Structure 1
C-alpha cells in the first residue's frame, strides 16, 4: 500500500501537460481530450480509476426513478465508490443528459472520493461549485440521464477517445485536462517526467534571459 500511495503522491506533483508528454514519448495514449474542469482554481487531483459505463437505452424501466435525485444506474456507482477513487464515467460523450449532479457530489465528497470525470455532462453546477467538489466534464446539461441511459458496467475497463482506462489506473486532472497513467507503467512515466521537467526548467530559464540559441540543445 505504501508504494501505491507514494506513486500517487509523486504523480500528483506533475502537471497533466508534462505527464501527457511522458506518455507520448512512451507511445501510450493517455490524454482524455474534450474534458474541462467545471470551475476555476480547481487545483490538481490524483487517484485510482473507478471506471463506469452507462449504455444508451431510452426509457428503460430498470433505470427509472421518479423525479430528480439519484437514478437507479447512478445508485450502483454511489454504492461502490470509496475513498481515494476517481470516478470515471463513460456516457458516450453525450451533451443531452447528465448522470452526475449535486447529491452525488456531496456523497462522493463525504466518502473521500477524489473527483469525478464525466465523458458526458454534469448538472447542479452551482451546488458542485459551492461545496468545492472537483468535476471534469464535456459540459453542463440540466436533463437527467435515466431517460437515455441505463447501467452498463462498473470496475471494468472502458475506452474514452481511444484511451483505455482500467480499474486502479492512475488518473491525474488539473485545469489543463485529464490524463490516465496505466498502473503497470507508472514508474516508467515518473522516471521520464524527471528528464522532461529538467528540460522544461532549463528552457524556461533561457526564455526568461532571452538566451535561447537552439531548442535542441537541452
Structure 2
C-alpha cells in the first residue's frame, strides 16, 4: 500500500512533471507508449504497479478453458490488493481485448485503482459502465485468447516499451501513464510540488511578457525573483 501522504503529493502533480524530474535523475524511459485515457480517466490516478503478462497465443494454451486455470486473468484479479494499478503487458497487440466488462466490474469491486495496458479492451460499453479507470490502446471485439496467452502476474514486465517492476508506482492522467521506479518515489513526491509551483510562476512571467531565455529554464536571476515573489505570497 502506498503511503497516503506520498500518494496525495503525486496526485497533485502532472505526468509531465514526473517525467521532467525523472529525466533530471537520469531516468528517461518512463512514459508508456500505447496506453491512452479511455474510460473514467479524467482524474489523475496513482498506485503501486501490479504487473500482468501476456505472450503470443499458442493453440494448446490459449483456449476458453484456460480462463478457469489457476494461472488466469481471473485468478490474477483475485490476487490484486486494494489500490493497485494493474499494468498489463499485451505486447501492443490490438486485435484481441485482454479484459471485458465482467472482469473490469470485478476489479472495480475489489477497489483496484485503474488498469493500464498497451493492449486493447473488449465490451467498450460495459467497460464504461464498470466505472474502472482505464488507459489502453483501443477497443477490439475478439477475446484475449484469439491472439494472446496469459502467463502470470507479480513479475517484471515490459508495457508500452517500458520496464515495470513490482513496487514501482504508476501515475496516469490525460497525457498517458508513467512509471516511477520504487527507489525514487519519495523523492519525486517531494520535488514535484516545488516543480509545479516554479512552472506556475514561469507561466505568469510569460503572460506578462517576459522573454523565455533565462526564464525557462530559469537562470539564477530568475530563480531569485521566483523565491522573492514566493516570500511575498
TM-score (norm 1): 0.88
Match in the other structure for 1:97: 96
SS in 2 for 1:93: coil
Match in the other structure for 2:226: none
Q: CA shift at 1:19, angstroms?
A: 0.7
Partners in 2 of 1:100 and 1:131 — Cα distance? 12
Query: Structure 1's 166 and 213: CA in aligned 2 closer, same or farther, altered over 3 A?
Result: closer
CA contact (8 A) 2:89 2:160 kept: no
Following superposition of structure 1 onto structure 2, how do residues 189-208 of structure 1 map, counting pairs within 5 Å?
189-208=188-207
Post-superposition CA distance 1:188-211 (Å, at most 9, x none): 223332442232112110122223
Q: Are 1:172 and 2:171 matched, yes or no? A: yes
Give the aligned CA root-mean-square deviation in angstroms: 2.1
Partners in 1 of 2:5 and 2:40 — Cα distance? 27
CA contact (8 A) 1:203 1:212 kept: no
Q: Which runs of 5 or more structure 1 residues have no equivalent in the other structure?
A: none
Following superposition of structure 1 onto structure 2, how do residues 1-218 of structure 1 map, counting pairs within 5 Å?
4-28=3-27, 29-39=29-39, 42-60=42-60, 62-65=61-64, 72=69, 73-212=72-211, 214=213, 215-217=216-218, 218=222
Q: Which runs of 5 or more structure 2 residues have no equivalent in the other structure?
A: 223-233
SS in 2 for 1:120: coil
Q: CA shift at 1:40, angstroms?
A: 6.7
SS in 2 for 1:48: strand
Q: Which has the larger radius of gyration?
A: 2
Q: CA shift at 1:172, angstroms?
A: 0.7
CA contact (8 A) 2:100 2:123 kept: yes
Partners in 1 of 2:78 and 2:62 — Cα distance? 16
Partners in 2 of 1:77 and 1:95 — Cα distance? 21
TM-score (norm 2): 0.83
Q: Which has the higher helix share?
A: 2
Q: CA shift at 1:85, angstroms?
A: 1.0
Match in the other structure for 2:230: none
SS in 2 for 1:43: coil
Partners in 1 of 2:178 and 2:6 — Cα distance? 15
Query: Structure 1's 120 and 216: CA in aligned 2 closer, same or farther, altered over 3 A?
Result: closer
SS in 2 for 1:139: coil
